[in-house]
Amino acid sequence: MNQHSRFNLPLCLVVEEDVFGNVDEAVQRYLPEIRGQKALIITEKFLHDLYGDIVEEIGNDFGGAEVLEVVNADFDEAVGMAKKICIDNIKVVIGFGGGRVLDVAKYAAFIGKAVYICLPTNLSNDSLASPFSVLGTVGSNRKTLACKIPTAILVDTTMIQKAPVTQTIGGIGDTIAKYTAVYDWSLAAEAEGKPVDDFAYSIAWMCYDSVAHCDEKSLTSKNFLRILARALVMGGLAMEIAGSSRPCSGSEHLFCHALEEYYPQIKISHGYAVALGSVGAANFQGRDDRKMIEVCKTYGLDLNPATYGIDKDLFAEIWSRAASTRPDRVTILNKTDLNRKWLDEIYDRMAE
């Protein structure tokens, strides 16, 4: 068997202005076989109200597709939608929204064996093209579930320009987090006595480099959004090729998981939380954190934990619980003595 035949790469990746007005054109070009098939649009109420005309136009491109609105973004809801997809013979699922909506749409399409077309309305994290969905399970617990990367990804830069700038900054955070993720991945590979996938490793590094060394400093410029969109999508492909989320998720993500699972009262989005985690992780790894701090400053990603209601005690507590969120994952935390003095120093550095 060709080793690479285990990958599912998207058939179509378009990053263009106003592409949501031409979804049928892109579909005809890349996926002619799905024309005329029954389709379902999955979005959420807020976006449906805000972009009703665009949703309707996309629906018309697919012969009047039905629209469902995500409410809870949990496992039951995704499976409920998959049930509908199977019973109603729906062959195409179109996810229109941000991370929560897209994770539900991706999983529902996977279970329902439908073609999945991803139309992100913001660039807040790299889950848009990953082969995983994060869904609520019980209480505030969430689980990362393996599924399939989208068949088509259309990024409309005009739409992204209208999204809150904090969502774009979140996407930057998820991208610079690869700096510490790839390092933890190689540590894990060494511990397990098997090599990292060089290609996935290089792609993840390229994602980081494209944003960290980007000349374009304006968060709303089309150039920057194109670079960030491609970086996020390529992160998804790195996970697909590696067959795990490791190229994009190391101890900085464990910090974020600990925040989400144990401290739901702290309101911080994924990309910001992993960026905060990356500073600690880089220090534990004994690596230079200056570039990532500079990038965060440049694009207005505030790294001061106090901004999010995290004081020194809580910061130390989150780190002490981080490894327990994914006990099977080898990261730098397995060989780090999280002494309080060091954690306080890192905190002070982030608060500068």
Using CB atoms within 10 Å of the CB of residue 178, give its burial: 0 to 12 exposed, 13 to 18 middle, 19+ buried.
Answer: buried
**Least Cβ distance, residue 125 to Zn ion (angstroms):** 5
Contacts of Zn ion in 113-172 (CB under 5 A): none
Given the complex with Zn ion, which of 77 and 174 has the nearer CB atom? 174
Q: Give me the residue label for tokens 């600690």.
A: 280
Q: Which is nearer to Zn ion, 197 or 252 (CB)?
A: 252
Determine the residue with CB nearest Zn ion. Answer: 174
Contacts (CB under 5 A) with Zn ion, residues 48-67: none
Number of residues that bind Zn ion (CB under 5 A): 1
Q: Is the CB of residue 23 less than 8 Å from the CB of residue 119? A: yes
DSSP string, 260-322: HHH-TTS---HHHHHHHHHHHHHHHTT---HHHHHHHHHHT----GGGGT--HHHHHHHHHHH
| Least distance between Zn ion and beta carbon 107 (Å) | 17
- Closest CB to Zn ion among residues 91, 270: 270
Closer of 40 and 332 to Zn ion (Cβ): 332
Distance CA 256, CA 180 (A): 13
Nearer to Zn ion, 174 or 260 (CB): 174
Question: In terms of CB distance, is 103 or 174 closer to Zn ion?
Answer: 174
Enclosing H/E stretch for 75: helix 75-87
To Zn ion, the closest distance from the beta carbon of 275 in angstroms equals: 10
Residue 328's SS3 state is: coil
- For Zn ion, give the closer residue by CB, 130 or 283: 130
| Nearest of 308, 309, 293, 303 to residue 347 by alpha carbon | 303
Window 13-52: residues binding Zn ion (CB under 5 A)? none
Q: Give Cβ neighbours of residue 4 (< 8 Å, ≥ 6 apart).
A: none
**109: Cα separation from own chain's centroid:** 18
**How near is the Cβ of 169 to Zn ion at its closest, in Å?**
14
User: Is residue 103 at the binding interface for Zn ion, with CB under 5 A as the rule?
Assistant: no
User: Which position among 77, 156, 174, 289 is part of the footprint of Zn ion (CB under 5 A)?
Assistant: 174
Q: Which is nearer to Zn ion, 31 or 266 (CB)?
A: 266
User: Min. distance of Cβ 126 from Zn ion in angstroms?
Assistant: 5
Both structure tokens of 297: 């400053």
Per CB under 5 A, the segment of 50-58, 71-79, 85-93, 174-182 that binds Zn ion is 174-182
> No. of H helices and E strands in the chain?
15, 8
Provide the minimum distance between the beta carbon of 231 and Zn ion in the complex, in angstroms, as a whole number: 12
In whole angstroms, the minimum distance from the beta carbon of 106 to Zn ion comes to 15
Distance CA 91, CA 97 (A): 20
User: How, if at all, do strands 132-136 and 142-146 pair?
Assistant: antiparallel
Shortest Cβ 273–Zn ion spacing (Å)? 9
Provide the binding-site residues for Zn ion, judged by CB under 5 A.
174
